Structure 1
Amino acid sequence: MSDEIPRNRDGWDPFPSSDQDRREAAAKSRGTSQSRSPTYRLAFDDPDFLTREETRGVRLQLELMKPEIAFLEAGILSTVVLFGGARIPAPGQAAWAARNETQKANLEAHSAFYDEARRFAQIASNHSAASSGSKEFVIVTGGGPGVMEAGNRGAADVGAPSIALNVTLPHEQEPNHYATPGLCFNFHYFAVRKMHFLLRAKAMAIFPGGFGTMDELFEALTLIQTRRMQKIPVLLFGKAFWNKVIDFEALAEEGTIAPDDLKLITFVETADEGWQSIRDFYGF
């Protein structure tokens, strides 16, 4: 039997693969005006066609599918989502994003959260490796610098895999060097990226951050509040920061959220305290 006969992963497949057709079409092109025409390209091998406005639905599906297949192949069952500011520097580093002396002082003071995020990721990743062979409670971040880097770095410190879900932005989103390369993804659509943050989430560890961090926090809280998502631990690191920038109690007092909605949030200060909250929630 010829080795060139294509087979799919489930067994016999008598048809040529799309990749085989793509390669053969490129090799057989004779440079005629007909073969050079964009209309002659195989639809799935035509970047101009795939980036048209009319094919947005296909691109949304592909961005949902590509990471999902990778997670299934890697056997990843659940994650711990780690959010936080891209602008928070590692201890001892300058606050590169500061626009004035006040921001510089605050951001450099927040570098303590970098250490706590890194330590938290180490603890979670050690538990993941020991309890499930790094299949459960896998750290996932936005893949950028700051607190996101700290999360991927903490996993790398203990030799564990971690996920990075990057997004195409003009700044701040170059993948950090600590994420596992085979679990590092780049998204065009914020909405699909946010779906992947939550599809396997068993806990969220949220450190001080800006608009992006707030967006991700409130979307998750909304889904849990409305019971569109299972209740999971939502840990806010740094109570003083959060109480300064968001008055959760005022929302309850104004009646725009229920008093019990405040119980969806757990304030913690340290990595050990945060991980203990997760242990208490799941009983391990």
Structure 2
Amino acid sequence: MSDQHPLHGANFPSARDDLRDESNRPAAYKLAYTDQDFLLRDELRGLRFQLELQKPEVTLQEHGIESTVVIFGSARFPSPEAAQKDIEQAQASGDPARVRAAKRAHRNSLYYQESQELARLITEHSLECPSEEQLYVMTGGGPGIMEGANRGAKEAGGKSIGLNIVLPHEQEPNPYISPEFCFRFHYFGIRKMHFMLRAKAIVVFPGGFGTMDELYEALTLIQTGKSRRVPIILVGHDFWQKAINLEFLRDEGVISPEDVELVRTVNTAEQAWQFIADYYKLSPRACPRC
């Protein structure tokens, strides 16, 4: 018997109250929201868009998460410890090509380490700072740079968010994402919208097509005024100097001179975090090592 006062409560049963075992019912008789075959029809794509937008949104709102630092970067960069093992195995194989690839991966594992350190700095600040300065690390939820960032947040004692995507070759979420904030998407577009909805800074480590897509999506939204301006920070001078040339685009007249100033390039996690802290005038403890 319910203890609820008779003046309170809904007059109508909820959808959950009406839920029954529908496994043996004819398709036409099933409640629409329990009929998977119906929900997966091409005509229902718009509804599935809305569901992918709403599910993470409702969860993040319920937990009071308003501000994030989004960290993008390659899924292919290993942790330093994994890279060291790969070098040892490559050297034992005697295959020169494998040794070269292992050494390259070991060199790039520095970025994994920097993403881990950046997430640690963000999370330590957020665990100690006033509530209005709380920031949560958000990544694409996969391996590589994403794993490093989620790992750094977890090792600092905080929570972080991962937005995983269904791919032809299944990508599993990394084990460091907070389970209650580990989301999976079918649609790239909705996933990218969630990256931008709460982003107060975007930090981009070296990466390939996916990373470039995410970077240019953010730049386009800010350039066109569809999104408020937030810091966009590229980590790794040497990589980004070769990978993109905004000055060339400016000189060719395809972007405005001020568009070049939308990004800041740094080399370390500490520099990236200090830029964010300065941009928002965060409390002095925002940079524990400074």
TM-score by length of 2: 0.87
Equivalent in the alignment of 1:59: 48
Comparing 106-115 with 181-190, which one deviates more in the overlay?
106-115
- Aligned ranges 1:1-284 → 2 under 5 Å: 2-3=1-2, 12-23=9-20, 26=22, 36-94=25-83, 101=98, 102-132=100-130, 136-171=134-169, 173-284=171-282
Stretch of structure 1 that moved more, 256-265 or 124-133: 124-133
How far 1:106 moved relative to its partner? Answer: 2.5
Give 1:18's aligned amino acid. A
Shift of 1:103: 4.3
Distance 1:132 1:64 in 2: 29
C-alpha RMSD of matched pairs (Å):
2.3
Distance 1:59 1:239 in 2: 40
Tell me the CA shift for residue 67 of structure 1: 0.4
8 Å CA contact 1:120–1:271 kept in 2: the answer is yes
Alpha-carbon distance in structure 1 between the residues aligned to 2:58 and 2:274: 32
Q: What are structure 1's unaligned runs of at least 5 residues? A: none
SS of 1:88 mapped into structure 2: coil
* Cα distance change of structure 1 residues 20 and 164 upon mapping to structure 2, 3 Å threshold: same
How far, CA to CA, are the matches of 1:108 and 1:242 in structure 2?
A: 19
Q: Percent identity?
A: 49
CA distance in 2, matches of 1:104, 1:236: 24
Q: Give the whole-Å Cα distance in 1 for the aligned partners of 2:105 and 2:196.
A: 28
Q: Which amino acid aligns with 1:21?
A: D
Alpha carbons of 1:132 and 1:164: their partners in 2 closer, same or farther (altered >3 Å)?
A: farther
Q: How far off its partner does 1:247 sit?
A: 1.8
Cα distance, 1:279 vs structure 2: 1.2
Partner of 2:94 in structure 1? none
Instruction: Using the TM superposition, give the Cα deviation of residue 243 of structure 1 relative to its aligned residue in structure 2, in angstroms.
Output: 1.1
Count of residues in correspondence between the two structures: 270
TM-score, normalised by the number of residues in structure 1: 0.89
Q: Which amino acid aligns with 1:125?
A: T
Q: Which moved more, 1:163-172 or 1:109-118?
A: 163-172
Q: Distance in 2 between matches of 1:125 and 1:171?
A: 32
| Alpha-carbon shift at residue 161 of structure 1 (Å) | 0.5
Task: Label 1:259 to 1:107 Cα distance change in 2 as closer, same or farther (>3 A).
Answer: farther
Give structure 2 stretches of 5+ with no counterpart. Answer: 91-96, 283-290
User: In the TM superposition, what is the alpha-carbon distance from 1:206 to its structure 2 partner?
Assistant: 0.6
Distance 2:132 2:125 in 1: 8
Higher relative contact order (CA 8 A, sep 6+): 2
Match for 1:14: what amino acid?
A: N
Q: In 2, Cα distance between the equivalents of 1:242 and 1:18?
A: 52
Q: Is the 8 A contact 1:144 1:172 kept in 2?
A: no
Distance of 2:193 and 2:130 partners within structure 1? 24
Deviation at 1:154, TM superposition (A): 0.5
Shift, 1:282, TM fit: 0.9
* 1:132 positional shift: 4.3
Aligned to 1:18, the other structure's residue is in SS state coil
